[in-house]
Amino acid sequence: MDPVRTDPQLGPLVETHGELPIGTADDEFARFVVAIVNQQLSTESAAAIRERLFDRVDVTPEEILATDESTLRDVGLSRLKIEYVRNVARAFRERDLSRAGLAGADDDEVIATLTEIRGVGTWTAKMYLIFVLGRQDVFPVEDLGIRTGMSTLYGFENTDREGMVEHAERWRPYRSYASRYLWYVVD
């Protein structure tokens, strides 16, 4: 993690907060559902929906597919997100999308595999790479929090994704860790 520790802006965050983990999800499917719930929502809204969902439904592929749509809507999922979590549930039943099942695939192959599922975009696939597969070198510039952190610490315009990606090259091969600190700046 040396390129992150020696960065003038991120280094002090590492010193203050210690090394932030990646790849800590115990349940691959449940963490995938969390990523879908989080899509395009504020942190607070997503947290409320997640809490209701996990309180009312056993978040497994079988249960998500078996749960009545009205129950899923009652917890706060939109019709589209219900479709998306069910698409992911079907994909988990049909393929091995676990850590073990994707261990031999590089990041681009994982993104390609996951984005074949309707409702899963690059952002969601990158969240899976970081928080489930524990891949160390992922930079999710698609994330508003990442762009806001880059803007706050480095003065980038929020729309300058190309510049952010270029800047993030200095953190290779630990861009996932750098991302954790960028989110920390925003949170």
Predicted structure pTM score: 0.90
What integer pLDDT is reported at residue 86 of this predicted model? 98
Mean pLDDT of the chain: 94
Q: Which CATH architecture has domain 28-131?
A: Orthogonal Bundle (1.10)
| Whole-number Å distance between alpha carbons of 170 and 7 | 9
- The two structure tokens encoding residue 92: 């988990």
**Where does the pLDDT of residue 54 fall: very low under 50, low under 70, confident under 90, or very high at 90 and above?**
very high
The predicted structure's pLDDT at residue 93: 95
Of 94, 102, 107, 118, give the one whose Cα is nearest residue 36.
Answer: 118
CB 147 within 8 A of CB 186: no
176 close to 138: Cβ distance less than 8 angstroms: yes
Going by C-alpha positions, the residue among 67, 63, 65, 37 that lies closest to residue 51 is 37
Compute the average pLDDT of residues 142-156. 94
Compare 49 and 186 and report the one with higher pLDDT.
49
Residue ranges of the chain assigned to CATH 1.10.340.30: 28-131
pLDDT value at 39 more than 90:
no
Runs of H (alpha helix) within 18-106: 28-38, 43-56, 61-66, 69-74, 79-94, 99-102
